[in-house]
Protein backbone atom coordinates (compact mmCIF):
# COMPACT_ATOMS: atom_id res chain seq x y z
CA UNK A 1 0.00 0.00 0.00
CA UNK A 2 2.92 2.34 0.58
CA UNK A 3 3.89 2.05 -3.08
CA UNK A 4 0.35 2.98 -4.08
CA UNK A 5 0.45 6.05 -1.86
CA UNK A 6 3.77 7.13 -3.36
CA UNK A 7 2.18 7.12 -6.82
CA UNK A 8 -0.32 9.67 -5.53
CA UNK A 9 -3.00 9.33 -8.20
CA UNK A 10 -6.69 9.50 -7.15
CA UNK A 11 -7.28 5.97 -8.39
CA UNK A 12 -4.49 4.46 -6.30
CA UNK A 13 -5.55 6.43 -3.22
CA UNK A 14 -9.11 5.18 -3.72
CA UNK A 15 -7.76 1.63 -3.80
CA UNK A 16 -5.83 2.30 -0.58
CA UNK A 17 -8.99 3.63 1.07
CA UNK A 18 -10.91 0.51 0.09
CA UNK A 19 -8.15 -1.79 1.40
CA UNK A 20 -7.82 0.20 4.62
CA UNK A 21 -11.31 -0.79 5.75
CA UNK A 22 -10.28 -4.46 5.85
CA UNK A 23 -6.79 -3.95 7.29
CA UNK A 24 -6.45 -5.59 10.73
CA UNK A 25 -2.73 -5.06 11.38
CA UNK A 26 -2.32 -1.84 13.40
CA UNK A 27 1.32 -1.47 12.33
CA UNK A 28 0.26 -1.30 8.69
CA UNK A 29 -2.22 1.47 9.52
CA UNK A 30 0.48 3.48 11.30
CA UNK A 31 2.91 3.17 8.37
CA UNK A 32 0.12 4.07 5.97
CA UNK A 33 -0.73 7.20 7.99
CA UNK A 34 2.91 8.27 7.86
CA UNK A 35 2.99 7.80 4.09
CA UNK A 36 -0.25 9.75 3.65
CA UNK A 37 1.17 12.66 5.66
CA UNK A 38 3.87 13.10 3.00
CA UNK A 39 1.55 12.69 0.01
CA UNK A 40 0.58 15.79 -1.96
CA UNK A 41 -2.97 15.12 -3.24
CA UNK A 42 -5.91 16.42 -1.24
CA UNK A 43 -7.42 12.94 -1.28
CA UNK A 44 -4.52 11.76 0.89
CA UNK A 45 -5.38 14.39 3.51
CA UNK A 46 -9.02 13.28 3.45
CA UNK A 47 -8.03 9.64 3.97
CA UNK A 48 -5.77 10.60 6.87
CA UNK A 49 -8.58 12.66 8.42
CA UNK A 50 -10.84 9.61 8.24
CA UNK A 51 -8.18 7.57 10.03
CA UNK A 52 -7.94 10.21 12.78
CA UNK A 53 -11.71 10.09 13.29
CA UNK A 54 -12.17 6.33 13.16
CA UNK A 55 -9.08 4.74 14.73
CA UNK A 56 -9.92 2.92 17.98
CA UNK A 57 -6.86 0.71 18.55
CA UNK A 58 -4.74 2.28 21.34
CA UNK A 59 -1.61 0.83 19.76
CA UNK A 60 -2.20 2.70 16.50
CA UNK A 61 -3.70 5.98 17.77
CA UNK A 62 -0.43 7.66 18.73
CA UNK A 63 1.21 6.92 15.37
CA UNK A 64 -1.77 8.18 13.39
CA UNK A 65 -2.02 11.37 15.48
CA UNK A 66 1.71 11.95 15.03
CA UNK A 67 1.36 11.65 11.26
CA UNK A 68 -1.64 13.99 11.33
CA UNK A 69 0.50 16.62 13.04
CA UNK A 70 2.70 16.79 9.93
CA UNK A 71 -0.27 18.00 7.86
CA UNK A 72 -1.35 21.59 8.43
CA UNK A 73 -4.77 21.79 6.88
CA UNK A 74 -8.19 23.18 8.01
CA UNK A 75 -9.84 19.81 7.45
CA UNK A 76 -7.19 18.05 9.52
CA UNK A 77 -7.50 20.65 12.27
CA UNK A 78 -11.25 20.07 12.44
CA UNK A 79 -10.75 16.30 12.67
CA UNK A 80 -8.22 16.69 15.49
CA UNK A 81 -10.48 19.11 17.38
CA UNK A 82 -13.38 16.68 17.09
CA UNK A 83 -11.22 13.86 18.41
CA UNK A 84 -10.15 16.03 21.34
CA UNK A 85 -13.82 16.82 22.09
CA UNK A 86 -14.55 13.09 22.19
CA UNK A 87 -11.56 12.59 24.47
CA UNK A 88 -12.87 15.16 26.96
CA UNK A 89 -16.53 14.18 26.90
CA UNK A 90 -17.03 10.63 25.65
CA UNK A 91 -14.05 8.32 25.17
CA UNK A 92 -10.80 9.25 27.00
CA UNK A 93 -7.66 8.46 25.04
CA UNK A 94 -4.63 6.53 26.35
CA UNK A 95 -1.90 8.85 27.70
CA UNK A 96 0.53 8.37 24.80
CA UNK A 97 -2.20 8.90 22.20
CA UNK A 98 -3.42 11.99 24.06
CA UNK A 99 0.12 13.39 24.12
CA UNK A 100 0.50 12.98 20.36
CA UNK A 101 -2.94 14.53 19.85
CA UNK A 102 -1.87 17.62 21.82
CA UNK A 103 1.32 17.94 19.75
CA UNK A 104 -0.68 17.60 16.52
CA UNK A 105 -3.07 20.33 17.67
CA UNK A 106 -0.09 22.56 18.43
CA UNK A 107 1.17 22.12 14.87
CA UNK A 108 -2.19 23.30 13.52
CA UNK A 109 -1.85 26.70 15.22
CA UNK A 110 -4.62 29.16 16.08
CA UNK A 111 -6.17 30.55 19.25
CA UNK A 112 -8.51 27.60 19.75
CA UNK A 113 -5.72 25.02 19.87
CA UNK A 114 -3.62 27.24 22.14
CA UNK A 115 -6.48 27.53 24.61
CA UNK A 116 -6.83 23.74 24.67
CA UNK A 117 -3.13 23.37 25.52
CA UNK A 118 -3.22 26.05 28.23
CA UNK A 119 -6.38 24.57 29.73
CA UNK A 120 -4.68 21.18 29.86
CA UNK A 121 -1.75 22.68 31.77
CA UNK A 122 -4.07 24.48 34.17
CA UNK A 123 -5.96 21.26 34.94
CA UNK A 124 -2.91 18.98 35.00
CA UNK A 125 -2.43 18.85 38.76
CA UNK A 126 -6.13 18.66 39.59
CA UNK A 127 -6.74 15.80 37.18
CA UNK A 128 -3.43 14.05 38.03
CA UNK A 129 -2.57 13.39 34.39
CA UNK A 130 0.53 11.23 33.79
CA UNK A 131 3.87 12.78 32.86
CA UNK A 132 3.74 11.50 29.28
CA UNK A 133 0.53 13.44 28.71
CA UNK A 134 1.98 16.52 30.41
CA UNK A 135 5.01 16.38 28.10
CA UNK A 136 2.62 16.27 25.15
CA UNK A 137 1.04 19.53 26.30
CA UNK A 138 4.45 21.17 26.65
CA UNK A 139 5.64 19.93 23.24
CA UNK A 140 2.36 21.11 21.76
CA UNK A 141 3.17 24.64 22.95
CA UNK A 142 6.57 24.40 21.29
CA UNK A 143 4.94 23.27 18.03
CA UNK A 144 2.51 26.22 18.18
CA UNK A 145 5.37 28.69 17.51
CA UNK A 146 3.34 31.68 18.76
CA UNK A 147 4.63 34.44 21.05
CA UNK A 148 2.02 33.62 23.66
CA UNK A 149 3.11 29.97 23.77
CA UNK A 150 6.73 31.10 23.99
CA UNK A 151 5.98 33.32 26.99
CA UNK A 152 4.35 30.41 28.83
CA UNK A 153 7.30 28.11 28.10
CA UNK A 154 9.74 30.79 29.24
CA UNK A 155 7.96 30.96 32.60
CA UNK A 156 7.83 27.17 32.95
CA UNK A 157 11.52 26.48 32.33
CA UNK A 158 13.31 27.59 35.56
CA UNK A 159 13.78 25.39 38.60
CA UNK A 160 10.67 25.38 40.78
CA UNK A 161 8.34 26.65 38.05
CA UNK A 162 6.14 23.57 38.38
CA UNK A 163 5.92 20.37 40.38
CA UNK A 164 6.61 18.03 37.46
CA UNK A 165 10.30 17.58 38.18
CA UNK A 166 10.60 14.76 35.65
CA UNK A 167 9.32 17.07 32.90
CA UNK A 168 11.83 19.91 33.35
CA UNK A 169 14.06 18.61 30.55
CA UNK A 170 11.04 18.46 28.22
CA UNK A 171 10.10 22.04 29.17
CA UNK A 172 13.66 23.22 28.43
CA UNK A 173 13.65 21.42 25.08
CA UNK A 174 10.30 22.96 24.18
CA UNK A 175 11.62 26.41 25.12
CA UNK A 176 14.60 26.39 22.77
CA UNK A 177 12.60 24.80 19.95
CA UNK A 178 9.93 27.47 20.23
CA UNK A 179 12.64 30.16 20.49
CA UNK A 180 13.86 29.21 17.01
CA UNK A 181 10.65 30.81 15.68
CA UNK A 182 10.98 34.04 17.67
CA UNK A 183 12.79 37.31 17.04
CA UNK A 184 16.59 37.42 17.48
CA UNK A 185 16.50 39.44 20.72
CA UNK A 186 14.22 36.80 22.31
CA UNK A 187 16.55 34.05 21.12
CA UNK A 188 19.44 35.80 22.88
CA UNK A 189 17.38 35.90 26.07
CA UNK A 190 16.80 32.14 25.83
CA UNK A 191 20.51 31.57 25.19
CA UNK A 192 21.33 33.31 28.49
CA UNK A 193 18.71 31.16 30.20
CA UNK A 194 20.24 27.99 28.75
CA UNK A 195 23.70 29.05 29.90
CA UNK A 196 22.37 29.26 33.46
CA UNK A 197 20.83 25.80 33.05
CA UNK A 198 24.28 24.35 32.28
CA UNK A 199 24.84 24.51 36.06
CA UNK A 200 21.48 22.93 36.90
CA UNK A 201 21.37 20.04 39.36
CA UNK A 202 19.52 17.88 36.81
CA UNK A 203 21.75 16.01 34.38
CA UNK A 204 18.93 15.80 31.80
CA UNK A 205 18.40 19.58 31.95
CA UNK A 206 22.12 20.21 31.45
CA UNK A 207 22.15 17.93 28.40
CA UNK A 208 19.18 19.52 26.64
CA UNK A 209 20.52 22.99 27.49
CA UNK A 210 23.73 22.15 25.65
CA UNK A 211 21.69 20.95 22.68
CA UNK A 212 19.72 24.19 22.77
CA UNK A 213 22.85 26.36 22.68
CA UNK A 214 24.00 24.60 19.52
CA UNK A 215 20.52 24.71 17.93
CA UNK A 216 20.25 28.47 18.55
CA UNK A 217 23.82 29.04 17.24
CA UNK A 218 24.88 30.69 20.49
CA UNK A 219 28.04 32.76 20.36
CA UNK A 220 30.99 31.14 22.19
CA UNK A 221 28.98 27.95 22.64
CA UNK A 222 32.27 26.04 22.33
CA UNK A 223 33.51 27.60 25.58
CA UNK A 224 30.27 26.78 27.40
CA UNK A 225 30.41 23.16 26.27
CA UNK A 226 34.03 22.83 27.33
CA UNK A 227 33.10 24.00 30.81
CA UNK A 228 30.19 21.55 30.86
CA UNK A 229 32.64 18.62 30.88
CA UNK A 230 33.40 19.27 34.54
CA UNK A 231 29.83 18.28 35.48
CA UNK A 232 29.91 14.89 33.72
CA UNK A 233 32.07 11.78 34.12
CA UNK A 234 34.79 11.10 31.57
CA UNK A 235 32.76 8.54 29.62
CA UNK A 236 30.13 11.22 28.92
CA UNK A 237 32.57 13.58 27.21
CA UNK A 238 32.10 11.96 23.79
CA UNK A 239 28.73 13.55 23.05
CA UNK A 240 29.98 16.90 24.38
CA UNK A 241 32.93 16.80 21.96
CA UNK A 242 30.51 16.00 19.16
CA UNK A 243 28.41 19.04 20.06
CA UNK A 244 31.56 21.18 20.19
CA UNK A 245 32.46 20.17 16.64
CA UNK A 246 28.95 20.99 15.51
CA UNK A 247 29.13 24.38 17.25
CA UNK A 248 32.42 25.23 15.56
CA UNK A 249 31.49 23.82 12.13
CA UNK A 250 27.69 23.75 11.92
CA UNK A 251 26.33 21.40 9.30
CA UNK A 252 24.83 23.48 6.51
CA UNK A 253 21.74 22.33 4.66
CA UNK A 254 20.63 25.16 2.33
CA UNK A 255 17.32 23.49 1.44
CA UNK A 256 16.36 22.89 5.06
CA UNK A 257 17.48 26.38 6.12
CA UNK A 258 15.52 27.98 3.30
CA UNK A 259 12.40 26.01 4.18
CA UNK A 260 12.79 26.95 7.84
CA UNK A 261 13.10 30.65 6.95
CA UNK A 262 9.96 30.48 4.80
CA UNK A 263 8.06 28.80 7.63
CA UNK A 264 9.22 31.44 10.10
CA UNK A 265 8.18 34.29 7.82
CA UNK A 266 4.82 32.65 7.14
CA UNK A 267 4.23 32.23 10.85
CA UNK A 268 5.18 35.85 11.49
CA UNK A 269 2.88 37.14 8.72
CA UNK A 270 0.00 35.09 10.10
CA UNK A 271 0.62 36.48 13.60
CA UNK A 272 0.61 40.06 12.29
CA UNK A 273 -2.60 39.42 10.35
CA UNK A 274 -4.24 38.06 13.49
CA UNK A 275 -3.24 41.16 15.44
CA UNK A 276 -4.57 43.40 12.68
CA UNK A 277 -7.95 41.70 12.61
CA UNK A 278 -8.34 42.01 16.38
CA UNK A 279 -7.37 45.68 16.23
CA UNK A 280 -9.85 46.35 13.42
CA UNK A 281 -12.58 44.58 15.38
CA UNK A 282 -11.92 46.74 18.43
CA UNK A 283 -11.88 49.95 16.40
CA UNK A 284 -15.12 48.98 14.67
CA UNK A 285 -16.76 48.14 17.98
CA UNK A 286 -15.66 51.46 19.44
CA UNK A 287 -16.97 53.44 16.46
CA UNK A 288 -20.21 51.45 16.17
CA UNK A 289 -19.33 50.11 12.74
CA UNK A 290 -19.32 46.50 11.57
CA UNK A 291 -15.94 44.95 10.88
CA UNK A 292 -15.39 43.07 7.64
CA UNK A 293 -15.42 39.37 8.62
CA UNK A 294 -13.01 36.81 7.24
CA UNK A 295 -10.17 39.18 6.41
CA UNK A 296 -7.81 37.53 8.83
CA UNK A 297 -7.99 35.13 11.70
CA UNK A 298 -6.01 34.76 14.83
CA UNK A 299 -4.77 35.67 18.23
CA UNK A 300 -5.28 38.42 20.69
CA UNK A 301 -2.87 41.30 19.98
CA UNK A 302 -0.24 41.88 22.57
CA UNK A 303 2.65 44.25 23.12
CA UNK A 304 5.95 43.02 21.77
CA UNK A 305 8.35 42.44 24.60
CA UNK A 306 12.09 42.64 24.74
CA UNK A 307 14.40 40.24 26.55
CA UNK A 308 14.17 42.15 29.82
CA UNK A 309 10.40 42.46 30.03
CA UNK A 310 7.35 40.22 30.17
CA UNK A 311 7.65 36.68 31.49
CA UNK A 312 11.22 35.95 32.43
CA UNK A 313 13.07 33.58 34.69
CA UNK A 314 12.12 35.60 37.75
CA UNK A 315 8.42 36.09 36.96
CA UNK A 316 5.73 33.84 38.31
CA UNK A 317 3.16 32.30 36.02
CA UNK A 318 -0.05 30.83 37.30
CA UNK A 319 -1.69 28.27 34.98
CA UNK A 320 -5.05 29.12 36.50
CA UNK A 321 -4.77 32.65 35.13
CA UNK A 322 -3.33 31.74 31.70
CA UNK A 323 -0.94 34.34 30.35
CA UNK A 324 -2.42 37.02 32.61
CA UNK A 325 -1.18 35.40 35.81
CA UNK A 326 2.10 37.28 36.11
CA UNK A 327 3.85 38.97 38.95
CA UNK A 328 7.45 39.91 39.44
CA UNK A 329 9.35 38.07 42.14
CA UNK A 330 12.98 37.25 42.86
CA UNK A 331 11.96 33.63 43.35
CA UNK A 332 11.50 31.03 40.66
CA UNK A 333 8.05 30.96 39.03
CA UNK A 334 5.67 28.59 40.76
CA UNK A 335 2.87 26.88 38.95
CA UNK A 336 -0.03 27.04 41.38
DSSP 224-258: HHHHHGGGS-GGGHHHHHHHHHHHHSPPP-HHHHH
**Predicted pLDDT at 328:** 42
Tally the domains of the chain: 1
CA proximity to 86, closest of 109, 110, 56, 57: 56
Low-confidence ranges of the chain (pLDDT < 50): 253, 256, 290-316, 320-336
In a domain, 271, yes or no: yes
Task: Check if the beta carbon of residue 20 is closer than 8 Å to that of residue 43.
Answer: no
Maximum Cα interatomic distance, the chain, rounded to a whole number of Å = 70
The model's pTM: 0.73
In a domain, 278, yes or no: yes
Q: Domain limits at 277?
A: 259-292
In a domain, 265, yes or no: yes
In a domain, 156, yes or no: no
**Predicted pLDDT at 7:** 63
In a domain, 1, yes or no: no
Read off φ and ψ for residue 160, nearest 5 degrees. Answer: 85, 5
In a domain, 273, yes or no: yes
**Predicted pLDDT at 247:** 85
Tell me how many degrees the CA angle 174-68-45 measures, rounded to the nearest 5.
145
- Would you tell me the crossing angle of helices 184-197 and 147-156 to the nearest 10 degrees? 20
In a domain, 269, yes or no: yes
**Predicted pLDDT at 32:** 87
In a domain, 283, yes or no: yes
Read off φ and ψ for residue 298, nearest 5 degrees. Answer: 155, -150
Amino acid sequence: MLKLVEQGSPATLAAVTAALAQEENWRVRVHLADALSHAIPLVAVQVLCRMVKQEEDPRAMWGIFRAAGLVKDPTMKKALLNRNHEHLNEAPLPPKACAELMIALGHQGGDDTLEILLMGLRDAEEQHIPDVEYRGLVEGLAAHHSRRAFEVLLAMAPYGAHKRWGCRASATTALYKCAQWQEPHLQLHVVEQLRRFLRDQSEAVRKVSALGLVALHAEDAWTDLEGLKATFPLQEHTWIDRLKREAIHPQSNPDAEGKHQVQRLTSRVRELEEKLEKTLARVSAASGQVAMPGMYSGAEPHVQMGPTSGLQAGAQWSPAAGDNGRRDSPQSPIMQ
